């Protein structure tokens, strides 16, 4: 029997990159995956890959910037499957901006998608995770631990994910719910390929994020870490920040 047989896993950001790889991995390990994203075309591609492998998945279009959409996503998952065992909050946005470009509207959009959506989904999922003694895997970033120039909105939102996850880990550990964060470094994803760069930015100020001797990693590398955190092998891992960056941040 596969390790997640009989379990239901909600994965946001499942249309591409790390979210897609995690959805495919959890489904391949036996979970029924609730794959969610705003990108309908990419979501359909993910679903097709999972079903081609003979695994179980349902597709759900949602907008991480909308509280009601996040709430409805969890409600739909429960209505269809009756349970939730794993929640992986992977959806997010990134980009580089000078501080004078960082309007309140822009900052609030980063918070809404990268942080508030995580809060809402975890809040709505928690009663069901308490029933299943399930787990949450929230995606932060190495930037949450080592902020850089031109990245104020992104870095602040991801630092919030770390704090939120630790708080929940303490609050719900007595119910058997584990909450952990993954802090990825450089991964070969559509988001990283299409990053917005601030005009005239000094790239030396963000050089610590990248070691030119270490190539960008395939998203499958992160999927294995997520699968471990969702598994019984990680039953004693709670409130942790797992850094996956090939050692880039270890020399800072």
Rounded mean pLDDT of 213-234? 89
Domain ranges, residue 235: 8-251
- Tokens 């270490």 sit on residue: 214
Active-site residue list: 154
* Confidence check: pLDDT of 212 > 70: no
Residue 235 lies in a domain: yes
Question: Whose CA is closest to 77, among 134, 162, 25, 139?
Answer: 134
Cβ count near 243 (within 10 Å): 21
Query: Distance (Å, rounded) from C-alpha 234 to C-alpha 211?
Result: 30
The rounded mean pLDDT for the chain is: 94
Supply the DSSP string of 167-192, one letter for each residue. Answer: HHHHHHGGGT-EEEEEEE--B--HHH
Q: Does residue 93 belong to any structural domain of this protein? A: yes
- Quick one: pLDDT at residue 163? 98
Residue 96 has pLDDT above 60, yes or no: yes
Whether 3 is covered by a domain: the verdict is no
Question: Does the pLDDT at position 252 exceed 60?
Answer: no
Nearest CA to 209 out of 128, 116, 145, 157 is that of: 145
Q: What is the pLDDT of residues 98-130, one digit of tens each?
A: 999 999 999 999 999 999 999 999 999 999 999
Whole-angstrom CA distances from 248 to 39, 157, 252 are 31, 21, 8
Is 224 contained in some domain? yes
Report the domain count for the chain: 1
Domain-located, residue 74: yes
What is the pLDDT, as a whole number, of residue 232?
97
Confidence of residue 26 (pLDDT cuts 50, 70, 90): very high
Residues of the chain with pLDDT > 90, as a percent, come to 82
In-domain check, residue 1: no
CATH number of the domain at 119, please. 3.40.50.720
pLDDT in tens, 146-200: 989 999 999 999 999 999 999 999 999 999 999 999 999 877 777 777 778 889 9
Cβ(27)–Cβ(52) below 8 Å: no
């Amino acid at each position: 029997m596969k390790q997640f047989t009989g379990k239901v896993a909600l994965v946001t950001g499942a249309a591409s990159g790390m979210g897609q790889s995690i959805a495919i991995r959890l489904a391949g390990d036996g979970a029924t995956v609730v794959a969610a994203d705003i990108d309908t075309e990419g979501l359909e591609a993910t679903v097709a890959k999972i079903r081609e492998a003979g695994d179980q998945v349902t597709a759900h279009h949602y907008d991480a910037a909308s509280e009601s959409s996040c709430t409805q996503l969890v409600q739909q998952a429960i209505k269809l499957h009756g349970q939730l065992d794993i929640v992986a909050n992977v959806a997010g946005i990134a980009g580089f901006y000078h501080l004078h470009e960082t309007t309140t509207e822009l900052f609030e959009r980063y918070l809404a998608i990268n942080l508030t959506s995580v809060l809402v989904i975890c809040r709505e999922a928690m009663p069901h995770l308490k029933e299943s003694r399930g787990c949450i895997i929230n995606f932060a970033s190495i930037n949450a631990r080592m902020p850089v120039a031109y990245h104020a909105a992104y870095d602040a939102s991801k630092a919030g994910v770390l704090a939120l996850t630790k708080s929940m880990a303490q609050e719900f550990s007595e119910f058997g719910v584990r909450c952990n964060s993954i802090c990825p470094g450089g991964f070969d994803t559509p988001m990283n390929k299409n990053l917005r760069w601030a005009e005239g930015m000094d790239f030396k100020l963000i050089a610590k994020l990248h070691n030119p001797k270490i190539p960008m990693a395939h998203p499958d590398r992160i999927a294995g870490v997520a699968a471990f955190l969702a598994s019984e092998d990680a039953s004693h891992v709670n409130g942790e920040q797992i850094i996956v960056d090939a050692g880039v941040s270890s020399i800072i």
